[in-house]
Amino acid sequence: MKSTRMGQLTICFSNRQRSLSASLVLLAVCYLVLLYPSYQKQQDIWRYYTMSQDCIARLHNQSQKIVSSPCEPNSSQSKLSALYPGKQLNRIPVFVQNGKIPHPGAAFYEPPFGFKGCEEQLQEIMELLPQAGLPKNLAPASCKRCIVVGNGGILRGTRLGAYIDQHNIVIRMNNGPVTGHEVDVGWKTTLRITYPEAAPKSPREYDPDSLFVVVMYKNTDFAWLKAMVRNEPMNLWQKMWFWQSVVESIPLEPQNYRILNLDIIRETALNFLGFPEPRHKLWRWKQVLPTLGVTSIITALHLCDEVNLAGFGYDMTRPDLPLHYYETVRMYAMNAQAVHNVNREKLFLASLVKGKVVNDLTGGVSW
């Protein structure tokens, strides 16, 4: 009698175990079914950027023609002057030199249009930096051919990396990664222009032979840069003033750091984009700022004889497109950028391409 009950209990337990296993399998299947549409949608969004072999071949042929032709001294600057006769580039240094306020106008504006109120902090940091110009070993003195690599999703799948790396100066922005994307974006970095919140988190993105160019948007950015150069931590109070977390250690030497001359931002905004003068409103400046992409192009026009672009262009008619080549943030995120005027910038970039001031290797500017 006891053995019969034990057998019944064993059968009951076995049935329950099979039922539990079946339930777990069914639950897993349902979970995968629910996840599949999201996964499939994530895969589908990159199809918009899929290029035919013929299209890729055309991009490569155009890029090969550009990088293999002789560099023409002062080519981009002379074409810019012809395109905008009244808007020539100011004769100003690209980087802050020796802690001096680069231009009298810079003393009137607070960051990011000038250094008003930050003179002592600027001087203190510059005393930590052994160099302030563009090292001669980074580019030839005769004629410099440069490329500004944007972070646009249009770069994905282009396989333009080899052509990008053939430029004398390769300018990258913010946290646009190289690692894992070398085939499309290249591996070479000469200048990385960024502000604290957008600096790469991964140590692998810091080329020891590159320049790390910091854009000062606010007073607390000086404290961050000082901490990075001195390789020391920031205190909690300093961290509270950043709108998102910032990297707390950068594997570069002091000679790798530069501070962007904020006259460049003011020149980009007021001179070329025609934005209004910033107006002080109570405790802050009311202003429209250029994106770092256009600012980097103006920087390149100051530094280089020939300027090319890759990875630029916003197709706002397709809001679900990935905004960047390395993540799935969508194009519609640009609509939340109230501080920028993307439409004005698109028109300006299109005029530069049409006037042959710059060459657009990926063709996104004409979208």
Domains of the chain, residue spans: 46-366
Q: Which residues contact 14 (CB under 8 A, 6 or more apart)?
A: none
What pLDDT shows up at residue 51? 80
Rounded Cα distance between 203 and 206, Å, is 6
Three-state DSSP class for 280?
strand
pLDDT tens string 127-167: 999 988 888 777 677 899 999 999 999 999 999 999 999 99
Question: Token match 């991964």: residue?
Answer: 202
Rounded Cα distance between 20 and 27, Å, is 10
Tell me how far CA of residue 19 lies from CA of 2, 8, 33, 89, 350, in angstroms. 26, 16, 21, 76, 65
pLDDT at 42 over 80: no
Of 93-107, 191-205, 266-280, minimum mean pLDDT range: 93-107
Tell me how far the alpha carbon of residue 260 is from its chain's centroid.
15
Across the range 244-270, mean pLDDT stands at: 95
pLDDT top residue among 228 and 105: 228
Which pLDDT band holds residue 39 (cuts at 50, 70, 90)?
A: very low
Rounded Cα distance between 134 and 326, Å, is 29
Phi, psi of 94 (to 5 degrees): -75, -35
pLDDT top residue among 357 and 343: 357
What pLDDT shows up at residue 100? 64
Indicate the average pLDDT of the chain: 85
Task: Please give the model's pTM, rounded to 2 decimal places.
Answer: 0.85
Q: Which residues contact 197 (CB under 8 A, 6 or more apart)?
A: 242, 243, 244, 245, 246
What pLDDT shows up at residue 102? 60
- Superfamily for the 46-366 domain: Glycosyl transferase family 29 (3.90.1480.20)
Neighbours of 245 (CB within 10 A): 10
Q: Which residues contact 239 (CB under 8 A, 6 or more apart)?
A: 245, 246
Rounded Cα distance between 304 and 72, Å, is 10
Burial class (CB in 10 A: 0-12, 13-18, 19+), 313: buried
Rounded Cα distance between 253 and 2, Å, is 80
**Sign of the C-alpha dihedral, residues 227, 233, 235, 240?**
positive
